Amino acid sequence: MTDTMPILLVPGLACSPRIYAPVVPALWRFGPVTVANHIRDDNMGAIARRILAEAPPRFALAGHSMGGSIALEIMRQAPDRVARLALLNARARPDTPEAIGRRRGQMARAQNGEYHAVLDELFAIFVHPSRRDDAALYRLVRDMGDDVGADAFVRQQTAIMGRPDSRPMLASIACPTLVLSSDHDDTVPNSQSKEIADGIHGANFVVLTDCGHLSQLEQPEATASAMVEWMRN
């Protein structure tokens, strides 16, 4: 392999670079791998602008969950800089009023000293039911939450609540695109991921089995395999 392509990975809500650790070894052969910092701003436009200011001139872009919303905002701001796009367990549609209400409740609790309790509740929703007693996975999710911290968690939730509806711009995405989902994602149902794949011409839609919202951690080999194919094709 003579040509290389920088790869930029964007984590999701309350997630740190640890979320991508299981797939980086499979990706680094294609080029330098960087995990974006997405915890400094409280709106999608500002998060994307700061990431773009720190990113290589042209790169492959992957976003997980909230990171998928950020990736779509990056596509909105600088589509010519993105050579490939991967959206993992992501949605294009904005929050419902009910979802905004839940987020506001989580934010208030995080600010009032209940951040770990919020993380515990998110863990139960994030992972496949068969993994809810997985102590190592629980510890990793808690550690990622601590990496982010309560203040940044509130900024992230604020950004998520204010994100635009990205469905109208899907048809404009022309780069090779992977849309990856899970068969048991209680956070982003795979019908919403399929909505993205259906909206992007030629997108490859992959559904992982026995998997919840945290595909890189729950099914690392299958996720890495799908991302390797994304980089090769």
The CATH class given to the 7-95+157-232 domain equals alpha beta
The SS3 of residue 13 is: coil
- Where are the domains positioned within the chain? 7-95+157-232
DSSP 8-state class, residue 215: H
State the pLDDT at residue 62.
98
In the chain, what percentage of residues exceed pLDDT 90?
98
Answer whether 173's CB lies under 8 Å from 196's CB: no
pTM (two decimals): 0.96
Task: Work out whether the CA dihedral 82, 88, 142, 74 comes out positive or negative.
Answer: positive
B/e letters for 70-107, b = 16+ CB within 10 Å, e = fewer, are bbbbbbbebeebbebbbbbbbbbebbeeeeeeebeebb
Q: pLDDT digit string (tens) for 13-56?
A: 999 999 999 999 999 999 999 999 999 999 999 999 999 999 99
Whether residue 79 is predicted with pLDDT greater than 50 in this model: the reply is yes
pLDDT at 2 over 60: no
CA distance 41 to 159: 8
For the residues 85-99, what does the mean pLDDT come to?
97
Count of CB atoms within 10 A of residue 63's CB?
A: 27
d(CA 157, CA 106): 9
Q: How far apart, in whole angstroms, are the C-alpha atoms of residue 163 and residue 69?
A: 7
Q: What is the rounded distance in angstroms from the CA atom of residue 55 to the CA atom of residue 61?
A: 10
> What pLDDT was estimated at residue 233?
82
Q: 155-201: per-residue pLDDT in tens?
A: 999 999 999 999 999 999 999 999 999 999 999 999 999 999 999 99
